[in-house]
């Protein structure tokens, strides 16, 4: 789910401010959050990968979206080869490769994989892709989290444990703030937005094609998985602002966390809830954020 970090709402608002200046961006929504956002969760509800089909959708120009299991993949496919953003799970790597080949645009390989963040449903394919010769790129903290493993959550009921990843899964090019991959006639730019869904989130821009991949900083529920537009991001932002304000109001009224849950203060926004982050968990996330309570599981570094 999109909420593993106590500072999400405010961080996201800054991002959306930036996005207001951009017209007609297509947003690649990240899927799977409700079921598979961390290796522990994934392990408990391990899907049958042999049954997963990769669906390819043309987004714009030479940019495609691949849906399978886990976070959606963005692919720039062209004469210079292929760049993908995120790589789902290892057992799907061959199917992903086959789906890209099936486009019959290029015989060249996946030259670069950019990870939006370290979660297993976005980096699970790192080993097979790097073994096949792809270069892995991510923000500094993505490599750190993959290398060290650790626990994360919302400071309360949501806790996830990640085991240290093997060497082949680690990005070999990392950056602090941003990096640009110049391929297929496009300046594909990964930009770090700290304090988001994790501490290593990047948003990937395909400026020529007006496409942006937001990783798990933006997850639309219900209906995650679909391509979205700026209005969808605005609606999501509005929900974050309103739910934050509702919890802040309850805090101002000296309500306890339990009271807020009992009174179901986020019921007006119930349509946004998911299986993984339910109403109570989201109240808790906002409560911890607004009270500065980080909890033992939130701080990564």
Binding site for Zn ion (CB under 5 A): 37, 119, 216
Q: Which is nearer to Zn ion, 116 or 237 (CB)?
A: 116
The CB-of-119 to Zn ion minimum distance in angstroms stands at: 4
User: Of 223, 239, 199, 221, which is closest to residue 277 (Cα–Cα)?
Assistant: 221
| β-strands 150-153, 159-162 pairing | antiparallel
Q: Which is nearer to Zn ion, 37 or 75 (CB)?
A: 37
Q: Which is nearer to Zn ion, 146 or 260 (CB)?
A: 146
The CB-of-173 to Zn ion minimum distance in angstroms stands at: 21
The CB-of-4 to Zn ion minimum distance in angstroms stands at: 7
Q: Which is nearer to Zn ion, 184 or 285 (CB)?
A: 285
Q: With contact defined as beta carbons under 8 Å apart, do 44 and 268 qualify?
A: no
Q: Which is nearer to Zn ion, 154 or 184 (CB)?
A: 154
Q: Which is nearer to Zn ion, 193 or 250 (CB)?
A: 193
The CB-of-122 to Zn ion minimum distance in angstroms stands at: 6
The CB-of-187 to Zn ion minimum distance in angstroms stands at: 26
User: Of 258, 219, 260, 254, which is closest to residue 239 (Cα–Cα)?
Assistant: 219
Detail the DSSP E strand segments found in the chain: 26-28, 55-60, 63-67, 73-78, 81-85, 110-114, 135-139, 150-153, 159-162, 173-175, 178-183, 186-192, 202-206, 211-213, 227-228
Phi, psi of 98 (to 5 degrees): -65, -40
User: Six-digit token pair at 204?
Assistant: 């990937």
- Distance (Å, whole) CA 235 – CA 238: 5
The CB-of-185 to Zn ion minimum distance in angstroms stands at: 30
């Amino acid at each position: 789910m999109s909420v593993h970090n106590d500072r999400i709402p405010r961080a996201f608002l800054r991002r959306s401010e930036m996005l207001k200046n951009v017209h007609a961006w297509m947003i690649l929504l990240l899927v799977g959050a409700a079921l598979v956002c961390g290796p522990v969760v994934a392990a408990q509800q391990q899907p049958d990968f042999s049954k997963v089909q990769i669906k390819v959708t043309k987004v714009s120009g030479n940019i495609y979206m691949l849906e399978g299991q886990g976070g959606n993949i963005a692919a720039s496919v062209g004469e210079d080869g292929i760049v993908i953003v995120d790589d789902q799970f290892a057992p799907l790597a061959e199917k992903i490769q086959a789906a890209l080949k099936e486009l019959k645009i290029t015989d060249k390989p996946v030259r670069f994989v950019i990870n939006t963040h370290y979660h297993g449903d976005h980096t699970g394919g790192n080993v097979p892709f790097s073994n096949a010769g792809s270069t892995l790129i991510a923000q500094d903290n993505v490599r750190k989290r993959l290398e060290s493993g650790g626990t994360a959550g919302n400071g309360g009921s949501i806790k996830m444990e990640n085991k240290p990843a093997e060497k082949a899964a680690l990005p070999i090019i990392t950056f602090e703030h941003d990096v640009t991959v110049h391929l297929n006639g496009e300046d594909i730019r990964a930009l770090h937005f700290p304090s988001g869904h994790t501490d290593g989130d990047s948003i990937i821009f395909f400026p020529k094609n007006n496409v942006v991949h937001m990783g798990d900083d933006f997850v639309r529920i219900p209906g995650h998985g679909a391509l979205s537009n700026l209005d969808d991001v605005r609606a999501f932002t509005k929900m974050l602002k309103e739910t934050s304000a509702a919890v802040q109001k309850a805090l101002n009224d000296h309500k306890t966390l339990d009271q807020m849950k009992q009174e179901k203060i986020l019921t007006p926004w119930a349509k946004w809830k998911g299986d993984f982050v339910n109403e109570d968990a989201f109240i808790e996330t906002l409560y911890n954020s607004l009270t500065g309570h980080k909890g033992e599981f939130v701080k990564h570094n």
